[in-house]
Amino acid sequence: MKLQNTLELHVKAAVKALFQSEIESVEFQATRKEFAGDITVVVFPMLRVVKGNPVVIGEQIGQYLQDNVGLIKGFNVVKGFLNIEIDDSYYLDFFNNIKNKDNYGFTELKDDKAVMVEYSSPNTNKPLHLGHVRNVLLGYSVAEILKASGKKVYKTQIINDRGIHICKSMLAWQRFGNGETPESTGLKGDKLVGNYYVEFDKAYKKEISDLVAKGQSEDDAKKNAPILLEAQEMLRQWEAGDKDIVVLWEKMNGWVYDGFEETYKAIGVDFDEYYYESQTYLLGKEFIAEGLKTGVFFKKDDGSVWCDLTEDGLDEKIVLRADGTAVYMTQDIGTAIQRIKDYPDVGGMVYTVGNEQDYHFKVLFLILKKLGFDWAENLYHLSYGMVDLPSGKMKSREGTVVDADDLILEMASTAEDISKELGKLDDYSEEDKKALYKVIGLGALKYYILKVDPKKRILFDPKESIDFQGNTGPFIQYTYARIQSILRKADVKGNESNGLELHDKERELLKQLEQFPEVIQNAAENHSPALIANYTYDLVKDFNSFYQNVSILGADKEEEKAFRVQLSKTVGQTIKNAFTLLGIGVPERM
């Protein structure tokens, strides 16, 4: 049982014995550094039940606990705060229970209802860019955290593989491509197709300019540009199932899928299931018809179908156009329901989508609840802020986005430059160096993005992220590598750690280690990898303070040396486990 839970029972028993009163709960907080103690009981909330001076009440409870509870070795009271000192035996027992657990902190599967986490969900007209990187890293990490908290998880994405934007790339390739392919150009397929999206935009802008020069208004020119009209006609042909158009669409999308897979592999993320918009865009209509019968939706005079959400503080939302065609909302309703059909054990879903879609998801979740789906109570929009670079905003059509593949290469290159400056890898082979640069570079990128609360916007600076000091991925990786170096040099046998008198730095480390399982549960509940990242940084800071103040391999007694080596090993394993949840690798040497 966790220390706080154990203490709560004892404090309640003390209040009952001393004051013949019962309190519902006990408020705890971390003991401030300037006072002796490991955990603090806040006395003030008890005054609702126990009348008297909070200092006197604190003294009485503290004395009762010290006299009757073996794990408490001392106490002090500051104003209304009872600071409790825990006996070393408690921490040593805790340590003996976890020190050889490779999966420390992780909870075995405890929930028969699965969670489906959607992330990435790219368009097939361009490569993945920096914005996608934050999405992918967040979604993957939240999925791993949910798994570690004891849930079954399915990772999925819906690929936006239809629509006018896809036809723009297809038409530009038809016009300007001269039959080139990823093989003939040596380009990844997603990059090749993305280049033609940019080509379309150039040709479109030129045609607008020509039409304006001939006297059309800019608005009319934008609507009447021949290349746009041709792309719109291509979309109509695709929807009608034109054989040649469908073959071209399949070919170019195939190129893009291959390119995406390469990028996902390089980033280190995966999926269990893929959904395609081309297969889901007609879903949902049957549920609109059903909702019309039950009064969830209503029809306007023009024949369009709407959902009135004004009583819920939102507005009216269209779910079917007057001509009977679906809107995005219709498709999302249908896709959510289809996923539950495909995976009946799913009891909730997490949608990793940027915060510009906050309103869309409020409406979607509310409509699904109104349609009577009980699982709709367990839908969550993992909303996140955009990623900016020091150079400014990104635009796909103008070809100014930061490509994900280029970013991964740049991160490895920056890691190489900084490592060379520091001269840390002189004895490595070239092959080992290259592999390590990638681990450091990717670790820096992932950590920099994931340590920030998802809702906040990020200004991403590659150089700053690969600092070997401070709250960065490389700093934590370096500490892990330092621990592995200690373990390689150590020659100790594993003993039970009993009867030792703990150094303050050892106790601080053990207190930090004890928090890890709860941090995972909190991170799962809040869908926040930032809680894991910042916990790991705090653990590493505590370890480095321990390393600088306590001799590990030069300990006076063999049992102290054995304990400190094992403590270092457990910290290393916990760092590794935490970084696994963030999708970050840890190097054995650095």
If one counts every other C-beta atom within 10 angstroms of the C-beta of residue 390, the result is 10
- Classify residue 531 as exposed, middle or buried by CB count within 10 Å of its CB (0-12, 13-18, 19+): buried
DSSP 442-470: HHHHHHHHHTS-TTS-EE--HHHHT-SSS
Residue 473 φ/ψ, nearest 5 degrees: -60, -50
Query: Which residue is associated with the tokens 């959904």?
Result: 275
Q: What is the pLDDT of residue 495?
A: 61
Dist. CA 455–CA 432, nearest whole Å: 37
Adjacency order of strands within the sheet including 379-384: 273-276, 153-159, 114-118, 346-354, 379-384
Q: How many CB atoms lie within 10 A of CB 229?
A: 12
CB neighbourhood size of 367 (10 A):
25
Q: How many Å apart are CA 75 and CA 52, to the nearest integer?
A: 20
Query: How many CB atoms sit inside 10 A of residue 41's CB?
Result: 27
Beta-bridge mates of residue 275: 158
Tens of pLDDT, residue by residue, the chain (590 residues): 578 889 999 999 999 999 999 999 999 998 998 999 999 999 999 999 999 999 999 999 999 999 999 999 999 999 999 999 999 999 999 999 999 899 999 999 888 899 999 999 898 988 998 889 999 999 999 999 999 999 999 999 999 998 899 999 999 999 999 999 999 999 999 999 999 999 999 999 999 999 999 999 999 999 999 999 999 999 999 989 999 999 999 999 999 999 999 999 999 999 999 999 999 988 899 999 999 999 999 999 999 999 999 999 999 999 999 988 888 999 999 999 999 999 999 999 999 999 999 999 999 999 999 999 999 999 999 999 988 877 654 444 444 568 899 889 989 988 888 888 777 677 788 888 899 999 999 999 999 999 999 999 998 888 888 888 889 999 999 999 999 999 999 876 656 667 788 999 999 999 999 999 999 999 999 999 999 999 999 999 999 999 999 999 998 888 899 999 999 999 999 999 999 999 999 999 88
Beta-carbon contacts of residue 295 (< 8 Å; ≥ 6 apart): none
CA separation for the pair 467, 451 (Å, rounded) = 15
Q: Which residue has the tokens 């126990």?
A: 50
Amino acid at 125: N
Q: Are 3-86 and 404-581 the same fold in CATH?
A: no
Which alpha helices (H) appear in 268-327, and where do they start and end? 277-280, 285-294
**Phi, psi values for residue 491, rounded to 5°:** -130, 80
The model carries a pTM of: 0.91
Tell me which residue has tokens 């199932």.
241
Rounded to 5 degrees, φ, ψ at 273 are -150, 145
**Residue count (the chain):** 590
The DSSP bridge partners found for residue 114 are 346
Domain assignments of the chain as residue spans, ordered by start? 3-86, 163-278, 404-581
Please name the residues in contact with 121: beta carbons below 8 A apart, sequence gap of 6 or more. Answer: 135, 157, 158, 159, 160, 353
d(CA 249, CA 246) in angstroms, rounded, equals 5
Amino acid 517 reads P
> According to CATH, what is the number of the domain 3-86?
3.30.1360.70
Asked whether the beta carbons of 487 and 588 are under 8 A apart, the reply is no
Sorted by sequence, the CB contacts under 8 Å of residue 33 that are 6+ apart come out as none
Please name which of 421, 393, 410 lies closest in space to residue 444, comparing C-alpha atoms.
410
CA-derived radius of gyration, the chain = 30
Q: How far apart are CA 445 and CA 464, in angstroms?
A: 10
470 touches 54 (CB < 8 A): no
Q: How far apart are CA 328 and CA 305, in angstroms?
A: 13
Q: Could you tell me the two tokens for 323?
A: 């001509």
- Residue 408 and residue 419: Cα distance in Å, rounded? 17
Query: How far is the C-alpha of 483 from the C-alpha of 346, rounded, in Å?
Result: 40
Tally of CB atoms within 10 A around 495: 12
What is the pLDDT at residue 397?
45
The DSSP-derived string for 143-200 is HHHHHHTT--EEEEEEEB--SHHHHHHHHHHHHH-TT--HHHHT--HHHHHHHHHHHH
Measured CA distances, 159 to 10, 117, 166, 278, 297 (Å): 55, 14, 12, 9, 28
Helix (H, G, I), strand (E, B) or coil at 5: helix
Does the 404-581 domain belong in CATH 1.10.730.10?
A: yes
Beta bridge partners of 320: 305, 326
pLDDT at 399: 46
pLDDT of residue 464: 85
What tokens appear for 292 in the block? 């019309």
